């Protein structure tokens, strides 16, 4: 059986008439840049994420860059972040001229370890950029405590985590800035590139809106140097349709995660062979505890010490997988100048060698999930 890692056609065919009508309405209006669709999108995504302000931007990468620009971060500054994430996290820091300073990750959640942040803070540290990897939020309470103590803004890279929760609070709403991506493969994906920065702070929101449009206010007067980081009306129109379904899709992903958990147990595959992703107790709909964590499973990532052979086997059986991410950022060629060595972040390095993402998209069928676990079982036999 063929099981793709992600099947966006299934989602589109379910929403086709609604999306096509929304796109046509933008063409009918000929209002392509900013305008009512973008404003509606900003209000809806901010409200959904428990924030007061939203600023639609051109991509998740630009959302991160703009948050850093809004804090006037640049050459000579340092920003603390994780080495185990998509490149854009540290890439955006480096593009401002600031230096990414990495701390290692927790091997179970893959998120940066709060207890290692303090040792990395210097008088050059200007911000902490935390990533909620795979749809699971980082341990925000200790991170926010350190940030408050040191007077540092926290930027949440929530590109993979829209709608996920930590103790009842939504991704992006806790730090000074929350950054989302509408890249098509994200849980809330557009028809191209797009993103958003959310904030609870009116002054920061005003600055973001100016930076997005060349720092211009009023027209042709520039008090600061911004860029063209605008969100297209067409993308906003698509997001406005899709946002209504996001919770349903997240529940589908959670149900798939629980199904994998059950199938692995039934197949007798234990953690000594394949390690499951960490799941907050609340992933189980019958759970009535107080943890309040909500994992939205942008990815379902297992790990195996024999990862590469397992992946080859799955490819041979038509099962789509991906490695997020094969090279931790401190080992990327472009960051050689930072001077890190291959032993500096052992958990990030081990994760890069062992993790494998399995299909988890909401439309995944029972038969497909069974086929995935069957082929893993046949590899282990
Ligand atoms: C996707 C992603 C980004 C970048 O988003 P784009 O919209 O592709 O620019 C940044 N950080 C993380 C963790 C991501 O997964």
Q: How far apart are alpha carbons 178 and 217 in whole angstroms?
A: 24
Owner of token pair 């995504």: 45
Distance 185 CA to ligand 1 centre (A): 10
Domain range annotation of the chain: 8-243, 246-380
- Percentage of the chain modeled with pLDDT above 90: 95
**Spatial CA neighbour of 299 closest among 236, 343, 364, 349:** 364
Distance 85 CA to ligand 1 centre (A): 9
State the virtual CA torsion across 156, 159, 163, 167 in degrees, nearest 10: -30
Tens-place pLDDT, residues 88-145: 999 999 999 999 999 999 999 999 999 999 999 999 999 999 999 999 999 999 999 9
Question: Does ligand 1 lie within 6 Å of residue 189's CB atom?
Answer: no
Q: What class, spelled out in words, does domain 246-380 have in CATH?
A: alpha beta
**Spatial CA neighbour of 186 closest among 91, 88, 261:** 88
Question: Which ligand 1 atom lies nearest to the CA of residue 183?
Answer: 7
Cis peptide before 325 (omega within 30 of 0): yes
Question: Does ligand 1 lie within 6 Å of residue 160's CB atom?
Answer: yes
Ligand 1 pocket test: which of 86, 136, 193 has the largest number of ligand atoms within 8 Å of its C-beta? 86
**Which of the 8 DSSP states describes residue 83?**
S
DSSP 337-370: GG---TTS-HHHHHHHHHEEEE---TT--HHHHH
Which has more pLDDT, 288 or 243? 243
Question: Does ligand 1 lie within 6 Å of residue 61's CB atom?
Answer: yes
134 CB-contact burial (10 Å; exposed 0-12 / middle 13-18 / buried 19+): buried
Residue 1: predicted pLDDT = 86
Question: Does ligand 1 lie within 6 Å of residue 60's CB atom?
Answer: yes
pTM over 0.85: yes
Question: Which ligand 1 atom lies nearest to the CA of residue 131?
Answer: 13
Confirm or reject CATH 3.40.640.10 for domain 8-243, answering yes or no: yes
Question: Which ligand 1 atom lies nearest to the CA of residue 132?
Answer: 13
Q: How far apart are alpha carbons 346 and 198 in whole angstroms?
A: 33
Ligand 1 pocket test: which of 64, 82, 183 has the largest number of ligand atoms within 8 Å of its C-beta? 183
Tens-place pLDDT, residues 1-12: 899 999 999 999
- Which residues pair with residue 302 across a beta bridge? 356
Residue with CA at minimum distance from ligand 1 atom 10:
88
Cβ pair 42, 54 in contact under 8 A: yes
373 CB-contact burial (10 Å; exposed 0-12 / middle 13-18 / buried 19+): buried
């Amino acid at each position: 059986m063929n099981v793709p890692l992600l099947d966006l056609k299934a989602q589109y065919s379910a929403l086709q008439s609604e999306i096509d009508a929304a796109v046509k309405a933008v063409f009918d209006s000929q209002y392509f840049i900013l305008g009512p669709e973008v404003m509606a999108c900003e209000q809806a995504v901010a409200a959904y994420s428990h924030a007061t302000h939203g600023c639609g931007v051109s991509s998740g990468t630009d959302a991160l860059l703009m948050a850093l620009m809004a804090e006037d971060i640049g050459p000579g500054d340092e920003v603390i972040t994780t080495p185990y994430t998509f490149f854009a996290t540290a890439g955006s820091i480096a593009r401002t001229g600031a230096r990414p300073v990495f701390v290692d990750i927790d091997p179970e959640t893959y998120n940066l370890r709060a207890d290692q942040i303090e040792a990395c803070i210097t008088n050059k540290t200007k911000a902490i950029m935390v990533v909620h990897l795979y749809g699971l939020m980082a341990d925000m309470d200790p991170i926010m405590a350190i940030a408050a103590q040191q007077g540092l803004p926290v930027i949440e890279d929530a590109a993979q985590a829209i709608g996920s929760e930590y103790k009842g609070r939504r991704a992006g709403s806790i730090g000074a800035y929350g950054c989302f991506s509408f890249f098509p493969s994200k849980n809330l994906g557009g028809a191209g590139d797009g993103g958003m920065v959310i904030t609870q702070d009116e002054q920061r929101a005003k600055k973001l809106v100016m930076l997005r449009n060349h720092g211009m206010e009023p027209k042709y007067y520039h008090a600061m140097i911004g860029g063209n980081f605008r969100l297209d009306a067409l993308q906003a129109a698509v997001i406005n349709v899709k946002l209504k379904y996001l919770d349903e899709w997240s529940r589908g992903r959670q149900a798939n995660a629980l199904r994998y958990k059950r199938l692995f147990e039934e197949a007798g595959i234990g953690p000594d062979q394949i390690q499951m992703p960490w799941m907050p107790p609340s992933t189980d709909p019958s759970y009535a505890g107080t943890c309040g964590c909500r994992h939205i499973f942008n990815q379902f990532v297992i790990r195996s010490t024999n990862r590469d052979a397992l992946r080859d086997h799955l490819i041979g059986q038509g099962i789509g997988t991906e490695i997020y991410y094969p090279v931790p950022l401190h080992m990327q060629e472009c960051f050689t100048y930072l001077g890190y060595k291959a032993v500096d972040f052992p958990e990030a390095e081990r994760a890069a060698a062992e993790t494998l993402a399995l299909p988890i998209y909401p439309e995944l069928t029972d038969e497909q999930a069974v086929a995935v676990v069957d082929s893993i079982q046949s590899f282990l036999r």
